[in-house]
Structure 1
């Protein structure tokens, strides 16, 4: 995995890490986007997972962004928006 993918939260994993609480999810263009809870002190940091079955294998891309907030509902909505944006910009190339 490249340095930049590690630095910016990308790459593939076989399953979501233990302890991730899913705050919301949606299907978009054949991908499953999950907004996950990631605590940063007393706030929540925007994070999510994008999943898709490619060639018979479930691929997962984890993203973490700088935005922080206190509201789980706002965080979930924004994480889904960011997931759609990533899919629109990169498509299946996020799994490379």
Structure 2
């Protein structure tokens, strides 16, 4: 009964949080994998992705989110793959030189 009242008066709104973006495309660059993960925001998609590399048997991940938004998920994924390539070209081996398993770039 309490849940009925809390929903009636706005306390029980059960909106699911946005699900983690699914990989929509991937690309091998050097010894790393770039995965596009466009994030849906309203009617648009924000450029986002991850760069992964296995170092000493441990999968390390570098995530990136940029301000660019696109009307199409495919366009956002393509841009994320290009951005991942750019990050790798700029940072190279230093991208995974620290001991962090996961961090944003």
TM-score scaled to structure 2, two decimals?
0.69
CA–CA distance in 2 between the matches of 1:19 and 1:82?
A: 20
RMSD over aligned Cα atoms: 1.4
Corresponding residue for residue 64 of structure 1? 65
Gap regions ≥5 residues in structure 2: 1-18, 99-105
What's the CA shift string for 1:29-85, capped at 9, x where partnerless?
110000002122221100000000012110000000110011111111110000000
Q: Which has the larger radius of gyration?
A: 2
**Highest relative contact order (Cα 8 Å, sep 6+), 1 or 2?**
1
Gap regions ≥5 residues in structure 1: 1-17
Q: How many residue pairs are counted as aligned between the two chains?
A: 79
Structure 1 segments, 4+ long, off by >4 Å, are none
TM-score scaled to structure 1, two decimals?
0.75
Corresponding residue for residue 16 of structure 2? none
